[in-house]
Amino acid sequence: MNPQRNWLPYWLTTPGVLMTLAFVALPLVITLSLSLYPFLPGGGVGDQMTLANYVDIARDDYFHVIFARTFGMAILVTLLCIVIGVPEAYVLSRLSERWRAVSIVIVLGPMLISVVVRTLGWAVLLGNEGVINKLLLVSGLVSEPVKMMFTFTGVVVALVHVLVPFMVLAVWASLQKLDATTEQAAQSLGAGFSTVLRRIVFPQVIPGVLSGGLIVFALAASAFATPAIIGGRRLKVVPTTIYDEFLGNLNWPLGAALAVVLVVIVLVVSMGMNRFVERRYKQVFQ
């Protein structure tokens, strides 16, 4: 054990640390503090600390509905991503090299494209004049256009599209660590294909499902562009409400309070799920 401390790592990390403290930590603390001040009717921020903003949020039904909608949507999106993301990751892991390369571009590539572009595509698909409705009308399945834009369903579908790559990635990472011969072992003991998937593969990828699920949940709850564009003005979620308060009503303290509540709920749910899943499946976590 050398008595002299090596200062090099500290020198190397200081610039990054200072930058992050200044532009992330400090602003977040300021926001927290901002939420504890009242909003003056004429604009501006008062100087007495108060919990008025939080009380407002707790009491007003308007906000209750918005929070319920936001987290209901986030949970639904997460579940859907698990349902379609896990099998997709499994198939990806079994494809041959050539098909896998193509599939990765198709499945993960959209992550590199701005959410505005992707959501625009859904706006075109989901509109009353959009392709999906045209197909439904032409095939005679419906007699008039199905309303998908500006609906909860539309937002959920678009969000699943935006977020499912994260789930696929997380589960795929878990699949890499899996010993493929356990599948063969199960087969040699008489298990059919679906039993192998259900009893052998899926339990071993639970860590990936958990990590993917937490990412998707957090991103879905704090999504802005997709609910704004597909959901429209009437289908408000917390992030769009924050936008309204901050840039519309200029009520920064209330906006800040909403942001704090959002972060706290996401954190609590994440930690709770984390602990629950890890405890129940602890033999799979190293």
Q: How many CB atoms lie within 10 A of CB 96?
A: 7
User: Cβ of residue 248: shortest distance to other proteins, in angstroms?
Assistant: 12
Report 8-37 residues binding other proteins (CB under 8 A).
8-13, 15-17, 19-21, 23-28, 30-31, 34
User: Cβ of residue 234: shortest distance to other proteins, in angstroms?
Assistant: 14
Distance of CA 15 to the CA centre of its chain: 30
User: Cβ of residue 226: shortest distance to other proteins, in angstroms?
Assistant: 10
Residue in 40, 113, 250, 271 binding other proteins, rule: CB under 8 A: 113
Q: How many CB atoms lie within 10 A of CB 145?
A: 16
Smaller CB distance to other proteins: residue 64 or 280?
Answer: 280
User: Cβ of residue 115: shortest distance to other proteins, in angstroms?
Assistant: 6
Stretch that binds other proteins, among 5-13, 48-56, 62-70, 72-80 (CB under 8 A): 5-13
Binding marks (x or -) toward other proteins, 212..241, rule CB under 8 A? ------xx-xx-xx--xx---------x--
Residues 100 and 104: their CA atoms lie apart, in Å, by 6
Q: Give φ, ψ of 257 to 5 degrees.
A: -60, -45
Angle, alpha carbons 229-171-117 (nearest 5°): 20
Kindly state whether residue 82 participates in binding other proteins, applying the rule CB under 8 A: no
Angle, alpha carbons 230-258-237 (nearest 5°): 15
One-letter amino acid at 32 equals: L
**Two tokens, residue 109:** 């590539």
Kindly state whether residue 254 participates in binding other proteins, applying the rule CB under 8 A: no
Report 84-103 residues binding other proteins (CB under 8 A).
84, 87-88, 90-92, 94-95, 101, 103
Which position has the token pair 């802005």?
224
Residue in 83, 124, 250, 271 binding other proteins, rule: CB under 8 A: 124
- Number of residues located near other proteins, criterion CB under 8 A: 110
Residue in 163, 242, 251, 277 binding other proteins, rule: CB under 8 A: 242
Kindly state whether residue 75 participates in binding other proteins, applying the rule CB under 8 A: no
Report 125-164 residues binding other proteins (CB under 8 A).
125, 129-131, 134, 158, 161, 164
Q: Within the chain, where are the H helices?
A: 8-20, 26-34, 52-59, 61-94, 97-108, 115-126, 131-138, 152-176, 181-188, 193-195, 202-204, 206-221, 225-226, 238-243, 252-280
